[in-house]
Structure 1
Amino acid sequence: MKSVVLMAASLALLGGASAGAAEVSPEMLAEGKAVFTETAVPNCGICHTLADAGTAGMIGPVLDDLKPDTARVEKAVTSGVGVMPAYAETLSADEIEAVARYVATSSGGE
């Protein structure tokens, strides 16, 4: 997680990150990673590969390659996409925001 925070801070200093990415706190990234790897049922890593999370799912897209932004992740997590279930009934709005910001930041989408 430390590398994600340092990457976001470095990009912000260089002008390469959006304002949203620069505002992501280490606590929110930690919460988002926990939602990705543990809280969500089924957890995101079962289907998705994300290097920062140490996951190697084989069903959904490789998030490191897709590099989705926060809005795209929030929409997918909230409503579901294809075979991916919707999590609006099982995760809070804060958990959805945290996982969306975590995925976007750690994959390089923001």
Structure 2
Amino acid sequence: MARPDPGMRPSPAGLWLALLALLAAGLSPAAQAAEDAQLQRGRELFTAKATPACAVCHTLAAAGSSGEIGPVLDELKPDAARVRRVLQSGLGVMPSYAGKLDAADMEALAQFVSRSAGSVKP
């Protein structure tokens, strides 16, 4: 097996690029745990803790909900920005949650809905 030439060392820029590629490839365990906790909080808010709970009106398979008043989120597949806007302002018969949920809870809900809508196959 050939040995690498000792004169051939990666440049500092090359090392930084390799490090950035590794970081981009996956979250650190702490970041993954924080993301998991946020998604769990979003699920709790969706199913029961928001008032009224989103599951009362919306169908979302990942939450085990089958509401029939609002749109089926598995079909709509809204992105997080859209969910945040609707939570903030309300839409049609859906009330605003601006005075009921703080920004962190709205973000948790937005991430949960946007990431899980359509993810569970019937």
Corresponding residue to 1:50 among 48, 60, 74: 60
Q: Scaled by the length of structure 1, what TM-score is found?
A: 0.76
Asked whether 1:102 is paired with 2:106, we answer no
1:88 equivalent among 98, 104, 107: 98
Determine the C-alpha separation between the residues in 2 that align with 1:85 and 1:105.
22
Does residue 44 of structure 2 align to residue 34 of structure 1?
A: yes
Q: Residue 82 of structure 2 is aligned with which of 46, 67, 72?
A: 72
Over the matched positions of the two proteins, sequence identity in percent amounts to: 51
User: Can you give the 5+ residue segments of structure 1 that lack an aligned partner in the other structure?
Assistant: 1-11, 14-21
For CA contacts below 8 A with separation 6 or more, give which structure has more relative contact order. Answer: 1
Task: Please give the root-mean-square deviation of Cα atoms over the aligned residues, in Å.
Answer: 2.0
Total equivalences in the alignment: 89
4+ residue segments displaced more than 4 Å: none
Structure with higher Rg: it is 2
